[in-house]
Amino acid sequence: MKDKTLLQALILGVGQVAAKVLSLVFLFRFANDLGKDAMSLYAFAYVPFSLFADLACFGLIPGTSKLVSKLIGQNDEAQVNYLLRKGTLYCILAGIFFFLFMLFFSRQILSMSLFDGFDEAEFEVVRRNLLMASLSLFVLPLIYFFKGFLQGHFIMYPSCISIVLENVVKLLLYIVIAKFIHDSNLVTTVFIIYLAGYILSFLLLLYFVFPYYRKKHEKFHSISTLLKTCIPFGIATMFFTIYQFIDSVSLPILLPVEGYYTAYMFETIRLIFFPIVIAQALGGVLNPKINYMFQEDRIEEAKHIAERCSSLIIYILIPFMILIRYFSNDIYNLFYKQENGATILYHISILIIFFGLHKVLIGISLGLPKAHYIIIATILSAIAKYILNYVLVPKFGYLGAIYATILAVSICILAAYYVLHREGICLFLKNIKDILLAGICTLGSGFLVVLFRVCFLLNRYPAYYSVVLYSIMLMGVYYISLNLFKQTYKLCIK
């Protein structure tokens, strides 16, 4: 069971990492074709679109996954099939509603975050881009619902394939179409390309879920039950979107420097999400698995998996965080050219451990029977983020936004530890030990590899060769050191 859980997480994680790589390649080409000045036309449309996309898909993947796994654990598979029918109708209506909302209120939404320097013509361009992006709301809720439905059956590979296909289509279409478009219309075209990728992803997932429509079904209060399950997940899993929206509203006022805004809100965040998607995949798998085990009263096994997976993600995230900090200049300049962007990447990389740990702990705790503390903590953290931005950003610039995010997300992390502790899964002290051990091993490995690098003059190679070679060496020495520490600890106990 433990190995299957990690295998499913690996499948989902591989798909999400591959998708992030493809997305980054796509955005790298797009950013270079568009230029720094026009890039803000994309960023200001994308941020509100992503917020309303999350609202339209509010908790659908983890919520549907949890409800399906719960019904399967109770041998109510006929109700699962009925949920698919009614859930499909709900998602269609949700997509229509949020598209119409964006259509009628796009001016008011954009007026909250655009720089004062934008004239009416530029405002209309951003508004047109936002409306083009909003067309994707017709299919996004269905995509999320189908993914949650399949993941609730512990079937992860369709989600993996669909997200990779979606990004392959986006990249290939962009390579073909961008040759003929070279002005601000490129942003509008990109949002249409997004829609094409989403449609193909939807069709692929529909192929996998279609057989369930024909199976025996049993009526129950499916939509109300689905909403009760999804709303806690929607609130808890929207923390990143909420933080981004708060930054998009407050930073133009508190830090009205366009280059800083784009680098902070759009570029560096995407670079640090490579390791974080591994935690996201692990948390997504743990949600239905932990819930299923509690339904079968297999609490000890759930506890063991929670301990193993939380330790694993800590051992993965810390060396990645150190590597990105060390190579912030090389990594950033491989993809983007904003002035001071590498410095922002150096500082923002600290969020890797906080976001990653949050995703795993939330994935575990929301799979438990009682998790209303997570909802309260998420709401409090959003309020804290908003207040802290206005307190810290005027004093520390973009660093203030990073400090505000760390303090706010820490509220959610502590709440997750509390929920787990109430259910008999005590991870706090163990995770602190894991962080210390991983930190010591990473710093020690880094020192040895830097020494080797200096002695053999590895700096003479191109930057990307140096990054790859150094990273492989550091990770190798790190995991050897980690295993030596663990084996020594076991021998000392014996």
pLDDT for 278 beyond 60: yes
Question: What count of other Cβ atoms lies within 10 Å of the Cβ of residue 241?
Answer: 16
Scanning the structure block, which residue is given the tokens 């929607």?
234
- Domain presence at residue 451: no
Which pLDDT belongs to residue 258?
56
Mean pLDDT of 185-207: 91
Query: Comparing 57-66, 179-188, 437-446, which segment has the lowest mean pLDDT?
Result: 179-188
Mean pLDDT of 373-377: 82
- Domain presence at residue 52: yes
Query: Comparing 123-127, 248-252, 264-268, 281-285, which segment has the lowest mean pLDDT?
Result: 281-285
10 Å CB burial of residue 224 (0-12, 13-18, 19+) is exposed
Do residues 140 and 96 touch, judged by C-beta distance below 8 A? no
Q: How many structural domains comprise the chain?
A: 1
- Quick: pLDDT tens for 360-371: 888 778 767 666
Domain hosting 247: range is 2-426
Which pLDDT belongs to residue 2?
45
pLDDT for 292 beyond 50: yes
Of the chain, the end-to-end C-alpha distance in Å amounts to 28
- Quick: pLDDT tens for 90-116: 999 999 999 999 888 888 877 766 555
- Domain presence at residue 435: no
- Quick: pLDDT tens for 232-242: 777 777 777 77
Query: Comparing 164-173, 400-409, 444-453, 459-468, which segment has the lowest mean pLDDT?
Result: 459-468
pLDDT for 456 beyond 70: no
Which pLDDT belongs to residue 370?
65
Pairwise CA distance, residues 81 & 62, whole Å:
17
- Quick: pLDDT tens for 24-66: 778 777 877 776 666 667 777 887 888 888 888 888 888 898 8
pLDDT for 453 beyond 60: yes
Mean pLDDT of 372-387: 86
Scanning the structure block, which residue is given the tokens 């390309």?
193
Q: How far is CA 21 from CA 123, 164, 271, 466, in A?
A: 31, 10, 9, 19
Mean pLDDT of 66-90: 89
Pairwise CA distance, residues 358 & 414, whole Å:
9
Q: How far is CA 167 from CA 23, 188, 274, in A?
A: 6, 17, 15
Which pLDDT belongs to residue 99?
93
Which pLDDT belongs to residue 1?
42
Q: How far is CA 51 from CA 54, 161, 187, in A?
A: 5, 25, 18
- Domain presence at residue 484: no
Please report, rounded to a whole number, the percentage of residues in the chain having pLDDT higher than 90: 20
Mean pLDDT of 325-333: 84
308, 334, 341: which is closest to 6 by C-alpha?
308
Mean pLDDT of 198-210: 95
336, 16, 30: which is closest to 170 by C-alpha?
30
DSSP secondary structure code for residue 114 in this structure: S
Give the residue, 313 or 467, on which the prediction is more confident.
313
- Quick: pLDDT tens for 3-12: 466 666 667 7
Which pLDDT belongs to residue 92?
95
Mean pLDDT of 218-234: 84
Which pLDDT belongs to residue 205?
95
Please report, rounded to a whole number, the percentage of residues in the chain having pLDDT higher than 70: 85
Mean pLDDT of 322-351: 84
Q: How many helices (H) and strands (E) does the chain have?
A: 20, 0
Pairwise CA distance, residues 273 & 352, whole Å:
7
- Domain presence at residue 463: no
Scanning the structure block, which residue is given the tokens 């051992």?
315
Scanning the structure block, which residue is given the tokens 């740990």?
357
Which pLDDT belongs to residue 271?
81
Amino acid in position 462: P
Which pLDDT belongs to residue 375?
81
Structure confidence at residue 207 as a pLDDT band (50, 70, 90):
very high
Q: How far is CA 262 from CA 35, 322, 404, in A?
A: 12, 24, 18
Pairwise CA distance, residues 168 & 18, whole Å:
10
Mean pLDDT of 283-296: 68
- Domain presence at residue 486: no
Question: Can you give the C-alpha Rg of the chain in angstroms?
Answer: 23
Q: How far is CA 346 from CA 263, 395, 475, in A?
A: 12, 19, 19
DSSP secondary structure code for residue 424 in this structure: T
10 Å CB burial of residue 17 (0-12, 13-18, 19+) is middle
Q: How far is CA 307 from CA 300, 367, 416, 420, in A?
A: 11, 15, 14, 11
Query: The whole model's pTM is what?
Result: 0.73
Which among 146-150, 225-229, 427-431 has the top mean pLDDT? 146-150
Which pLDDT belongs to residue 490?
58
- The residues, any chain, with a CB within 8 Å of residue 491's CB and separated by 6 or more, are none
Which pLDDT belongs to residue 116?
52
- Domain presence at residue 163: yes
Scanning the structure block, which residue is given the tokens 């990143």?
240
Q: Give the max Cα distance, the chain.
A: 73
- Quick: pLDDT tens for 382-414: 899 989 988 888 888 888 889 999 999 999 899
The full length of the chain comes to 494
- Domain presence at residue 396: yes
Question: What count of other Cβ atoms lies within 10 Å of the Cβ of residue 371?
Answer: 22
Q: What is the pLDDT of the chain when averaged over all its residues?
A: 81
pLDDT for 87 beyond 90: yes
